Structure formats: structure tokens, C-alpha cells
Chains A and B, each alone.
Chain A
Amino acid sequence: MTKGNQLSNRDLERLSAYLDGALSEKEASRLEARLREEPTLQQALQELKKTAQMVASLSEISLPRSFTLTPEMVGIRDRPRIYPVMRLATALATFAFFAVVGIDAITNFALNGALAPASKEQVAMEAPAPAADTLATGATPVEGLDLEEYRIEQEEVAASEIAAEAENEMDRAAPSGVLGLTEETQPLVPQEGKTEAPELPGTPTSVASGTAGGELAVDAVEAEPELTPTIEIQPTYTPMPTSTSIPLRGTVQPEQRSILRVAEFGLGGVALLLAGLTLWIARKD
């Protein structure tokens, strides 16, 4: 066709860029100078210009349809309305579970910290129930015990007629301060006390055996007749309600611990169940 075909690629690019105003000022002025002197270059420029204009004259294609996306196209599914509720419930159950676990851990720590004294207290607080009078007078002080409360409970017990009778007999048999311990224990087992006390007169063992109602107590009191029959007497009084009604400061009752354990298992199970249900709802459809 024209000599424009013989243009170098460099000149072709220059002419094309010149049409779009993409040449630098210096390059443009240099090309314009050449265009004035080279008719073939000028002709090539006109051909390129006409070609670009013809291509640009192509009309815009109208849309055959809208290309807006639907949730299905992009994999978004409508979840049931209950989904957010289940999700919230799962979160709350999980939070509650961890809260209970935390509380349990803290209380366990507290319990372990006070474990040694607590065991001592456990033994002591159950045993001295009958020896409240003795303890109250300072004969056997026990840490952590509310002795006043103890005393009141023991006084109520001692209010029975049987207790009064036993006291008289004990006074005769063992008037010492140590034996004072048994003075109140006896009313709780009145029949044995009454019958056995005369059989072993003049010895504390007779009193001990009367209260404990067993050989163990007799042996123990013989071995340590002076002060601490509390441990040996313990079996006798463990069933008494007083042993559990004593408040312990700084420790956790076994009942509370078991409640915490149940709550832990329950909440953990609920959290898992809710999480499973939530996932199932989310993946449904």
C-alpha cells in the first residue's frame, strides 16, 4: 500500500505514541520536524490516525443481561434464623464452662494450700464435739474451730436427762480435768455409759469405754490417759450432725467441690453439644 509499511518499528511506535500524545515534549518536537520534511512519514501518520479512528468508531456493545451475583453463585447460603442464637448460646456455654473450671482450679489451689491444717482440723473438729467443755476451758485448743458455737451445740445436747445422770457418775469416777471431756460425751451414748461406768470404777478408761463403746477407745485412753482422747473418741461421734455443721474458714467444703465438678461436666457437655448443633445448622443445606 503506502511507504508507511516500510517504517522501522521505532518510527511506528513514535507515530503511534504521538497520536495519543504519549511522547515527551522533546521527542514530539523532533518528530514534528521530521514530519515536515518526510512525506512518507506524514502519510504513515495519517494512515495510523485513520485506522485508530475507524477502530474507535465501533459502537459500545449493549449488555445482554445483568451480571449481578446471587448468593448461590458465590457459595453464600442462607443460614437458618436460629443460627446466630445457637452461636451465641455456644459461646456463652463455653465461657461458663471455662469460668467454672477456673473457679474450680482456684478453689483447689486454696484447698491444697490449706490441706495440712485442714486435715488436722477435720480430725479435731469432729472429735472434740463431746469435749467442748474441756476445749473451751483451754485444755486442748484447736486451731480454726469456732468453739463458742461448738459449746452451744454441746450444751443443747447436754440438756437431756441422761446427760445429767451421766455427769454425776462421771464426777465420781473421774473428777479430773481430762475426764471432763467424757462428761458430755456420755449423754450421747447414755445406756453404755451408765452400765459400764460402775464396772470400771476409779479409772478414766471406764469413762472412755462408756463413751466410745469399743475396745479401741479403752486402749487409747490407757496409753494416753492425760489429755488427748479426742482422736480415739472420734469414731463415736462422727455420725453426729455437729461434725458437719462446723464452719471452716478458708477452705472449701467437699459438697461445694462436688457441685463444681458437676457444673464443669455439665457445662462442658452443653458447650460441646451446642457447638455440634451449631456446626450442623451451619452446614445444613
Chain B
Amino acid sequence: MLGARYDGANVDETTLIRQAQRGDLEAFNRLVITYQKQVYNLAYRLMGDQASAEDATQEAFISAFRGLRGYRGGSFRAWLLRIVRNACYDEFRRRQRRPTTSLEELSPFNGDATPDSIGELIDKGEGPETATEEAELRRAIEDCLNRLPLDYRTIAVLVDIQGYDYREAATVIDKPLGTVKSRLARARARLRDCLQQYRELLPTAFRLEDETRK
């Protein structure tokens, strides 16, 4: 349905996991190669920058290897994603101890961004005149995504961007399905409202009202 679908299933995955559980680093690295893109993408979308995402991803794989004996079956991908999600949350908590912002409001961007700051954001790039409409839209979406509270952002990334179903997303965030449903609905509503702010800046790319009138 939505976004890129990941097919992490591997015929030899169970064997590789078993070997890795016995300390076979080479076997584990084959699993890393299979899943590193998905793990890094989740980290990037949660952290909002490359350096932090790299750190979280590397830390997650190291933790996964050391804690591999704790894996008790099920979706190995979801197990890995949960580890990287926890690594990201830990990093945000560390950051939270320094500034005075709550975890709910934490995002790489200031939640009180004004149209001025959005315009500034766009101007940092190639500029409204020269930038393609697609690039502007992408930056706007990323901005809105990054303004979401961490819990909402996680669900939006897992379901809308990475395309996991509710059940797997529930495994990753270690919450019931109902929580996934409600958080996703709220995340989408906030994204919708946020993107409406860009309607002035990106009139051709964002025409929800126009479409609904058709």
C-alpha cells in the first residue's frame, strides 16, 4: 500500500540467527546487510539527521548482537527495529536532560515553527524559484514529520513510510494494536494540519481542499 515495502524474509534467516546466537559474527553481519537499510531509515526518520542516525544504527546492531540470545522467535526485523527505536529514544532522553523539553514534544525542529521559519527552511535549499516542486514538497513533509511528537512520528514512519502493517508496528513499539491505530490517526491529523501551513508556500503541491471539492 503506502510507501516502500520491505521484504526482509530470508530462507536462511533462521539458520543465520542460530549461528549468530552461537557467536558467529559473520552470520550476524549477513543479517545486518539484509536489514541495515530499514534500520537506518527508521533511525534517520526518528533522529532527523545523518550523524545521529548512524550512531543509533550502529549502536542498535551492536546491542542486537550482544542480546541475540534474548531473541525468542517472531519477526526478526521487528525485533531489530525495536532495538533501534529504543536506541533513538535513549538518545532523545539524553538530549532531554540538557534542554528543558518533554519527550512528547521532542523533535529535531522547534515545534513552534512559524511560516517565517518554514520559508527560511526552504530558502536554505536551492530557493523557491529554482527548486523543483517535488523537492519543496519533500522538505515540507520532512519538516512536518519532524515536528511530530516522537511516539506519533515513530508510528507514521513505520506504517506510512516503511509500510509495515499494524501488527508489526505494534511489535516494534511494544504496544497493543489499539495504540497503533490511535497514534497513527493522530499523527496523520497533525501532519494534515501541518501541511496546510505549507499550502501558501507550495500552492500547486498541496491542494487538499481543491481535491475534495471535485
Which of B4, B138, B145 contacts A60 (CB under 8 A)? Answer: B4
Q: What per-residue 1/0 map shows which CB atoms of A32-73 lie under 8 Å from chain B?
A: 000000000011001110111111111111011111110101
Q: Check if B137 is an interface residue, CB within 8 A of chain A.
A: yes
- Contact yes or no, A17 B33, CB < 8 A: no
Contacts of B209 in A (CB 8 A): 1-2
Cα–Cα, bound, A20→B170 (Å): 15
Instruction: In the complex, identify which listed stretch (B60-68, B70-78, B105-113, B119-127) lies at the interface while the others stay far away.
Output: B60-68
How many chain B residues sit at the interface, stated as a range, is: 35 or more
- Contact yes or no, A55 B32, CB < 8 A: no
Q: Check if A15 is an interface residue, CB within 8 A of chain B.
A: yes
Contacts of A54 in B (CB 8 A): 137, 141, 191, 195, 206
- Contact yes or no, A16 B185, CB < 8 A: yes
Cα–Cα, bound, A283→B53 (Å): 34
- Contact yes or no, B188 A52, CB < 8 A: yes
Cα–Cα, bound, A58→B4 (Å): 9
Q: Check if B208 is an interface residue, CB within 8 A of chain A.
A: yes
Q: Check if A116 is an interface residue, CB within 8 A of chain B.
A: no
- Contact yes or no, B61 A12, CB < 8 A: no
Known: A2-B212, A17-B181, A47-B208. A12 touches B37 (CB 8 A): no
Minimal Cβ-Cβ distance residue in B for A2: B209
Q: Check if A103 is an interface residue, CB within 8 A of chain B.
A: no
Q: Which residues of A from 182 to 214 have beta carbons under 8 Å from B?
A: none
Q: Which residues of B from 185 to 214 have beta carbons under 8 Å from A?
A: 185-186, 188-189, 191-193, 195-196, 206, 208-209, 211-212
Q: Which residues of B from 20 to 77 have beta carbons under 8 Å from A?
A: 23, 25, 28-29, 32-33, 36-37, 39-41, 44-45, 50, 53-54, 57-58, 61-62, 65-66
Q: Check if A22 is an interface residue, CB within 8 A of chain B.
A: yes
Smallest distance from the beta carbon of A281 to chain B beta carbons, Å?
19
Q: Which residues of A from 87 to 129 have beta carbons under 8 Å from B?
A: none
Cα–Cα, bound, A66→B66 (Å): 19
Contacts of B184 in A (CB 8 A): 16, 20
Minimal Cβ-Cβ distance residue in B for A46: B212
Minimal Cβ-Cβ distance residue in A for B41: A61
Known: A2-B208, A60-B37. A52 touches B160 (CB 8 A): yes
Q: Check if B81 is an interface residue, CB within 8 A of chain A.
A: no
Q: Check if A146 is an interface residue, CB within 8 A of chain B.
A: no
Minimal Cβ-Cβ distance residue in A for B50: A64
Q: Which residues of A from 1 to 45 have beta carbons under 8 Å from B?
A: 1-2, 4-5, 9, 12-13, 15-17, 20-22, 42-43
Cα–Cα, bound, A58→B144 (Å): 12
Known: A15-B185, A69-B65. A50 touches B208 (CB 8 A): yes
Contacts of A47 in B (CB 8 A): 192, 208, 212
Minimal Cβ-Cβ distance residue in B for A1: B196
* Residue from B37, B161, B212 having most chain A Cβ neighbours under 10 A: B212
Q: Check if A76 is an interface residue, CB within 8 A of chain B.
A: yes
- Contact yes or no, A69 B29, CB < 8 A: yes
Smallest distance from the beta carbon of A92 to chain B beta carbons, Å?
25
- Contact yes or no, B141 A58, CB < 8 A: yes
Contacts of A71 in B (CB 8 A): 25
Contacts of B186 in A (CB 8 A): 9, 12
Q: Check if B11 is an interface residue, CB within 8 A of chain A.
A: no
- Contact yes or no, A22 B28, CB < 8 A: no
- Contact yes or no, A51 B32, CB < 8 A: no
- Contact yes or no, B159 A20, CB < 8 A: yes
- Contact yes or no, B141 A5, CB < 8 A: no
- Contact yes or no, A55 B160, CB < 8 A: yes
Minimal Cβ-Cβ distance residue in B for A59: B138
Known: A13-B182, A58-B138, A64-B50. A48 touches B39 (CB 8 A): no
Smallest distance from the beta carbon of B64 to chain A beta carbons, Å?
9
Name 4 extra pairs, CB < 8 A, besides A61-B44, A67-B36. A13-B182, A58-B145, A63-B37, A74-B62
Which 6 residue pairs spanning A and B have beta carbons closest together? A16-B185, A56-B2, A56-B3, A68-B29, A13-B185, A51-B192
